[in-house]
Amino acid sequence: MPTDRSVGRLVPMITAPTLLSSPLGVVATGVLVGLAVTQIAIFTTTVYLHRGLAHRALTLSPPLRQVARAVIWLTTGIRPRQWAAVHRRHHAATDTPADPHSPAQLGWVRVQLTNVALYRRAARDPRTLERYARDIPATRLDRVLYDHALVGLGLGLAALALVLGWPVALVAGTTHAVAYLALSGAVNAVGHTFGRRPHPNSATNLSWLAWLTAGEGLHNNHHAAPTAARFSFRRGEHDPAWPALAVARRLGWVEVRRDRPVLAVRSESRPARAA
Ligand SMILES: [Zn+2]
Ligand SMILES: [Zn+2]
């Protein structure tokens, strides 16, 4: 009969250094870490940039807002006031020629593949910021620190490298960049093309996309009630960010503007096809 000690010696020990010593282990770890970073970035995007800043559907407590601000900087380099302005323009001009990223105007494949370029074009247009982000002026901290996207992204990557080494950090960074851009593009492209439209607007509800994007896939609901902090309205719909928000609300970390969704008075028109 083997003793406990001898059995212990026979069981191969899988430790982090062992896992990271093979190329496959490096890639697998990098991909998993990258996908985890994407989920953190997507969750912060929907809660802080989208529901909080762009629509004022909720208010984060000041400490939580600072954490979210830093997470967005380190994982995406996005300037919050630019994101809010581009997104407000999307709501104001949905699927018209003035929409920064309309699949009805440009085709869903083009929006899916070039979403980041379309975003940058709208963000760099001074009229976008002037008209849609007057209430979000740049702070001193923005000018000194947060407006420098590459510094944020570089520090985020360096932090990963410090913990996991450069090979894993580079795989994780690449995975995160591809996954974050693909999912953000999908909300704007797929989420205005395929899926259910329970409310009369051009956006769609897709439950698989909602699971991958912390609720953003319930885009038809969101266009119907943009000031609702919760994106799921009925049975069978799941907004993965909402349970976390409900807990944060109980702890006094989040204030929610409305408990029930208020449907927008003016329904957006059906998409006008480009000629
Ligand atoms: Zn939309
Ligand atoms: Zn919105």
- pLDDT tens digits for range 134-177: 999 999 999 999 999 999 999 999 999 999 999 999 999 999 99
Q: Could you tell me which residues are beta bridge partners of residue 254?
A: 60
Ramachandran assignment for 13, one of left (phi > 0), alpha (psi -120 to 50 degrees), beta (any other): beta
Q: Compute the distance from residue 234 Cα to the ligand 1 centre, in Å.
A: 20
Sequence-distant (6+) residues with CB within 8 A of 193 are 103, 108, 204
Judged by its nearest atom, the ligand closest to the C-alpha of residue 203 is 1
Of all ligands present, the nearest one to the C-alpha of 87 is 2
Which ligand has an atom closest to residue 46 CA? 2
Q: How far apart are the first and last CA of the chain?
A: 80
- pTM equals 0.88
**Helix axes 166-189 and 149-164, enclosed angle (nearest 10):** 130
Distance (angstroms) between ligand 1 centre and the Cα of 202 equals 8
63 alpha carbon – ligand 1 mean position (Å): 29
Q: For the chain, what is the radius of gyration of the CA atoms?
A: 21
Give 57 Cα–ligand 2 centroid separation in angstroms.
Answer: 10
pLDDT digits (tens, 9 = 90+) for 257-269: 987 788 876 544 4
Q: Are 35 and 175 in contact (CB under 8 A)?
A: yes
Say how many Å lie between the CA of residue 10 and the centre of ligand 1: 57
Asked if the model's pLDDT at residue 248 lies above 50, the reply is yes
pLDDT at 43 over 70: yes
Sequence-separated (6 or more) residues with CB below 8 Å from residue 115: 101, 181, 184, 185, 188, 189
How far apart are alpha carbons 96 and 244 in whole angstroms?
35
Ligand 1 centroid from CA 100, angstroms: 10
Measured in Å, residue 208 CA sits from the centre of ligand 2 at 19
Compute the CA torsion angle 109, 54, 244, 230 (nearest 10 deg).
-80
Q: What is the mean pLDDT of residues 38-57?
A: 98
Cα dist from 268 to 185, 194, 220, 224, 264, whole Å: 21, 17, 11, 8, 9
Query: Quick one: which ligand is closest to 187's CA?
Result: 1
Q: Does the structure show a pLDDT above 80 at 189? A: yes
**Which tens digit of pLDDT belongs to each residue from 90-127?**
999 999 999 999 999 999 999 999 999 999 999 999 99
In the chain, where do the E strands start and end? 58-60, 254-256
275: confidence class by pLDDT, cuts 50, 70, 90: very low
